[in-house]
Structure 1
Amino acid sequence: METRILGKTGLEVSLIGFGGIPIQRCNQWEVDEIVENLFLEGVNFIDTARAYTNSEEMIGEALKKWGRDHFFLATKTPQLSYDAVMADVQTSLNELQTETIDLYQFHNAKTMAAYETIMSPNSGYAALQKCQELGLIKHIGITSHSYEVLDRALDEEKFETIQFPYNIVENKGAALFAKAKLKNVGVIIMKPLAGGAFMNADYALRWVAENQDISVIIPGMDSVKQVLENTKVGNDFIPLSHDERKIFEADANALGKTFCRRCGYCSPCPQGIDIPMQFIVEGYYRRYDLEEWALDRYRSFSANASDCVQCGECEPRCPYNLPIRDMLKKTRELFDPLI
């Protein structure tokens, strides 16, 4: 597996890391198999978060079998205040069943106001500094979907890593990563597959990996099959050929800008709708000529877009500010006449 240095942390991390969001859908035995195959394929960087329900717990249990020492562990807190951050660190240590966490990050600092709260005296950042002093964590990072927040974080030079979305249709981070490289700040890439929206994951990961300013790519994976497919990029990295690039660009152009990244932050829906899955099946129907498969899947859902009551609880949670209610309406208009 190709490795790169995670900025000033000095950690030599695998080019392909593991994003722990989707294992919330898995059983423990499935996570055990995933972690085993991460080890076998040379992946040494695991990213999870307090917000990913039981992700930390299942990763911690799997590492009892396959070895804590083989991996750098990164997790995150959405909390801002000193006491809440301290409590989250202790919970993460317990769930991951470890004495120290390699990288602890502030999770999705959405606004400049949130950032300023984190950095104010005796607040969240001070808590992580204290955890460093106690040996509970080794390094401090920050994640955000806001370019402006991370740009300021780089200017203030308080963080050792940043984490930001980056793929062919969300590529404004390139300038941010170049700045981070100059400041020796590690760059962690989330959403490299745009939440599974791309037809060809191999092309998507290789496109991201071509950027030498990034340190590690963390696609979310919930199966051994995905681990084996995604790690090929790091184990035998080859830049995209001219023809491959043209194919991938056409896929990206068809996708556009307003699409679901499957982050799951919109959940839970009061009506029980799996919102990301609605948009996945719609995409397969419209773009990938899999009409029959998509319609069958839509019919199989216990709740679907037709059950949306337009309450709007999902929309404030979306980091991309997507018009989810309007998108669900379009999904309903596509499928309902076919049922």
Structure 2
Amino acid sequence: MEKRILGKTDFEVSVVGFGGIPAQRLDKEQVLELLTEAYNQGMNFIDTARAYTASEALIGYALEKLGRDKFYLATKSMSRTYKGIIDEFNLSLSLLRTDYIDLYQFHNVKTFEEYDEIMSDDGAYRAVKELKEQGKIREIGITSHSKEILDMAVDTNFFNTIQYPYNAVENQGEELFKKAKASNIGVIVMKPLAGGAISKGELAIRYILDNPNISVVIPGMESMEQIIQNSRAGIDRREMTEEEKEMLAKEASTLGAEFCRRCGYCLPCPQGIDIPTNFLMEGYYTRYDLKDWARSRYEAISPKANNCIECGLCETKCPYDLPIIKMLKNVVKVFE
């Protein structure tokens, strides 16, 4: 698989890495099987997070079996304080069964106020810098869904990587990536399939890898089929044809702006609604014309979208500021 240097680091990473969000839905033997195949396909970069529930523990089990040195390991924390990040970091080390993290990232920094808290005297950055000086962290990065925050971060000397969404629907980060590349800052792309909304996985990843400013793309993977398909985009590296670009653009144009990326930040719902799955079934029904299939699976969901009490908690947690209540009402309208 093609490899690229991750910014100022000396990490020569595979252009397709293993996104660890879906791992939390599997068991430890399944994750071991997936990471074994990922390594065999040439992947050498793993991205996970404290926020991904059991993901770190499952990946840690697999790494212990496979060998820690086979992968560059990235994880991240939502903590913004000195003490909080120390506690989270030590937990990550324990769960991942390692004594160092290759890339430690500040996770989903949403506002300039959060950023200022991280960089304050009692903030998380001071703790991470100390951990780096102790050899427990090799490099420091930042992730966000805010282009403005990452644009500011690139102007500093504090971070060697940024992580931001990029796909055929969401290409607003292209100037940011160009600026990061000029500053020799590694660019990690999340949401390459727009949270599963784009069905043409290999084309979606090839679209991203055609951008020379990208270091690595990290699609979430939970099946052997996904490992093989996504790897192919990095192994058989060739630029997209005009026909392929048109095909991908046509699918992207059907999504509009209000669609769920299935990041899961809206969960848990107080009513127990699996919000992303409700949206996924609605997408299969309306975008991919799988009406009978989608309806049968929607009927098996419990609780459903119609159990929403409009408390609005999910909307406060969505990094894309989606009108989730309105979108759930649309799911009900489609199916009921």
Give the TM-score normalised by structure 1.
0.98
Q: Percent identity?
A: 53
In 2, the alpha carbon distance for the partners of 1:134 and 1:90 equals 13
Structure 1: give runs of 5+ residues left out of the alignment.
none
* Matching residue of 2:98: 98
Residue 53 (structure 1) aligned with residue 53 (structure 2)? yes
Residue 272 (structure 1) aligned with residue 272 (structure 2)? yes
* Matching residue of 1:16: 16
Q: How far does residue 153 in structure 1 lie from its aligned partner after superposition? A: 0.6
Contact 2:17 2:218 in 1 (8 A): yes
Contact 2:23 2:55 in 1 (8 A): yes
Q: How far does residue 199 in structure 1 lie from its aligned partner after superposition? A: 2.1
Structure 2: give runs of 5+ residues left out of the alignment.
none
Per-residue CA distance 1:170-225 (angstroms, 9 max, x = gap): 11111011111111000000001000001211111111111000100000011111
Q: How far does residue 272 in structure 1 lie from its aligned partner after superposition? A: 1.4
Contact 2:203 2:233 in 1 (8 A): no
* Matching residue of 1:315: 315
Residue 26 (structure 1) aligned with residue 31 (structure 2)? no
Give matches, 1:152-191, under 5 Å: 152-191=152-191
Q: How far does residue 157 in structure 1 lie from its aligned partner after superposition? A: 2.0
* Matching residue of 2:329: 329
Q: How far does residue 134 in structure 1 lie from its aligned partner after superposition? A: 1.1
The RMSD of aligned alpha carbons is: 0.8
In 2, the alpha carbon distance for the partners of 1:26 and 1:117 equals 35
Give matches, 1:61-140, under 5 Å: 61-140=61-140
Task: Please tell me the residue identity of whatever aligns with 2:126.
Answer: A
Q: How far does residue 245 in structure 1 lie from its aligned partner after superposition? A: 0.9
Per-residue CA distance 1:86-119 (angstroms, 9 max, x = gap): 1111111101000110000000010011111111
* Matching residue of 2:41: 41
* Matching residue of 2:262: 262
Q: How far does residue 121 in structure 1 lie from its aligned partner after superposition? A: 2.0
Per-residue CA distance 1:139-159 (angstroms, 9 max, x = gap): 000000001111111111210
In 1, the alpha carbon distance for the partners of 2:278 and 2:269 equals 12
Give the TM-score normalised by structure 2.
0.99
In 1, the alpha carbon distance for the partners of 2:307 and 2:239 equals 44
In 2, the alpha carbon distance for the partners of 1:199 and 1:84 equals 39
3-state DSSP class of the match of 1:162?
strand
Residue 150 (structure 1) aligned with residue 150 (structure 2)? yes
In 1, the alpha carbon distance for the partners of 2:177 and 2:313 equals 33
Contact 2:193 2:199 in 1 (8 A): no
In 1, the alpha carbon distance for the partners of 2:309 and 2:80 equals 33
In 2, the alpha carbon distance for the partners of 1:27 and 1:12 equals 29
In 2, the alpha carbon distance for the partners of 1:15 and 1:195 equals 19
Kindly tell me the number of residue pairs found equivalent between the two proteins.
336
Contact 2:18 2:221 in 1 (8 A): yes
Give matches, 1:216-235, under 5 Å: 216-235=216-235
